[in-house]
Amino acid sequence: MKKIRKMAAAGISILLLVLFLLPFAGAASADQTAPRAAGTASAVPKSGPVFIIPVDQEIERGLQSFLTRGFQEAANYGAVLILLEIDTPGGLVSSAEQIGMMVRDSTIPTAAYIKGDAASAGSYIALNAGSIIMKPGSMIGAASLVDGKGDSVDDAKLVSYWKSKMVGAAELNGRDPEIAAGMMDKNIVVNKPELGVNKAQGQIIALSSDEALKAGYADSIAGTPEEAIASLGYATDDIFRVEHTGAEKMSHFLTNPIVMTILLFIGIAGIVIEMLVPGFGVPGIIGTLAFALYFFGNYVAGFAGSETWLLFILGLVMLVLELFVPSFGILGLLGSVLLVAGVVRAAYSYTHALFSLGIAFAAAAVVIAIVAVTFKERGIWNRFILQDSLTKEQGFVPVLEKLSLVGASGISITPLRPAGTASLNGERVDVVTEGSFIAAGVSISVIKVEGGRVVVKETAE
């Protein structure tokens, strides 16, 4: 009986223990089977380096080079996430395509945090990222094609091509493709009341942060990049921000269209003035420095390669040789072609480079003309013009014409073949015949005097 009571008591204890542990077992089972939502309190943030790379300028090859460096640094550090901090008005479609491809092909998860405007090509870059988080008051869209003057491009082929790119980027992460098409094509109509989008023909879609969230073009809204990182389920205690280097900042300034034109003007004017009016040294140094800054800025930005320096130096050498080596203008022409080719190839746009070069040439021509007139006494052309004169002050005495000897008679002292010496009026005089030979001791007479030249002929005794 006691044994039965002991067994009953033990059974009750085990039952109570099971009932006590059952909720914990259920919780543990729920933890293992239910998926964790990123950014929720129950999720454990993924730790590791997170790289923030700013996209805060016009989209061109300079930005592309900067992002390439940023992605490479993130890979070297073993980053678990790359956050593109976007605030850009857009830029070149070709560069946006390359950046978009780099974002898509990245082995590191990439998200876009739009802190300002992701306009035009900036919206394309954002759509290629795995996630889009927007700051309150930010914008995405307005991706229509425009030319260098800001006018809308209506070329059907270009519009169709860019539309396909935008639609493809939207479909990567399940975003409505019609909205992406409406961001750049003003001719289509988009009516999506369930997504809060209603676009009439002639309009371009641009979504605010709240509108983008409703339309599925933003995954969440965050006030800071750190909040955006946390919302994606990553720890924020190991964040690295990729900054522009001093050379990259300088390059961004030097590749400004206005600055590039000024550098070309100073370079052309300085070097040409130094060649035409040598001796100063300062114009040549300033001109060379201006060209060096021009090529340096474009080289760092990724526009120019080493071949542009070679073209420019060869062109400059040929122009200098043209001043000293007769080539009927061939060296000068080749030098000019090489110099222009180097300048144009170094720029991000051939059209813009030629336009800037034309303005610089015109302005430099005016300055060169003024300097050439002002310092005409020192011009290089004076080397090819005989300026010296033989004056009495310098010790030079002109030969006197002996007109008094005309008609005078005398005797040849030496044979005249046809020149020689004769005695005229008791004076030894250098004479010359008209071409005939006269032996020594023959009677002669003077027929004419031309400066210091006394012409004689043989006469009968």
pLDDT band at 22 (very low <50, low <70, confident <90, very high): very low
What is the rounded average pLDDT of the residues 104-131? 94
40 has a pLDDT exceeding 50: no
CATH class for the region spanning 50-241: alpha beta
**Range of 100-104, 264-268, 313-317, 422-426 with top mean pLDDT:** 100-104
Specify the pLDDT at position 348. 67
Specify the pLDDT at position 251. 79
Place of tokens 């389920």: 233
User: Which of 77-81, 102-106, 267-271 comes out lowest in average pLDDT?
Assistant: 267-271
Looking at per-residue pLDDT, the higher value among 382 and 30 belongs to: 382
Specify the pLDDT at position 398. 57
Specify the pLDDT at position 29. 33
pLDDT band at 9 (very low <50, low <70, confident <90, very high): very low
pLDDT band at 371 (very low <50, low <70, confident <90, very high): confident
Q: Does pTM top 0.85 for this prediction?
A: no
What is the rounded average pLDDT of the residues 366-391? 64
Looking at per-residue pLDDT, the higher value among 251 and 194 belongs to: 194
| pLDDT tens digits for range 50-59 | 999 999 988 8
Cα(250)–Cα(55) distance, rounded to whole angstroms? 17
What is the rounded average pLDDT of the residues 89-118? 92
Specify the pLDDT at position 221. 95
User: Which of 11-15, 107-111, 149-153 comes out lowest in average pLDDT?
Assistant: 11-15
Looking at per-residue pLDDT, the higher value among 303 and 424 belongs to: 424
| pLDDT tens digits for range 338-356 | 877 888 777 766 677 778 8
| pLDDT tens digits for range 219-239 | 999 999 999 999 999 999 999
Q: Is 400-458 in the same CATH topology as 50-241?
A: no
Q: Which CATH architecture has domain 400-458?
A: Beta Barrel (2.40)
| pLDDT tens digits for range 384-432 | 454 555 555 565 555 566 777 888 888 889 998 888 999 888 888 889 9
Specify the pLDDT at position 362. 87
| pLDDT tens digits for range 204-221 | 999 999 999 999 999 999
pLDDT band at 177 (very low <50, low <70, confident <90, very high): very high
pLDDT band at 240 (very low <50, low <70, confident <90, very high): very high
12 has a pLDDT exceeding 80: no
Looking at per-residue pLDDT, the higher value among 33 and 276 belongs to: 276
Domain layout of the chain by residue ranges: 50-241, 246-382, 400-458
What is the rounded average pLDDT of the residues 167-177? 93
17 has a pLDDT exceeding 50: no
Looking at per-residue pLDDT, the higher value among 275 and 388 belongs to: 275
Specify the pLDDT at position 139. 95
Specify the pLDDT at position 401. 64
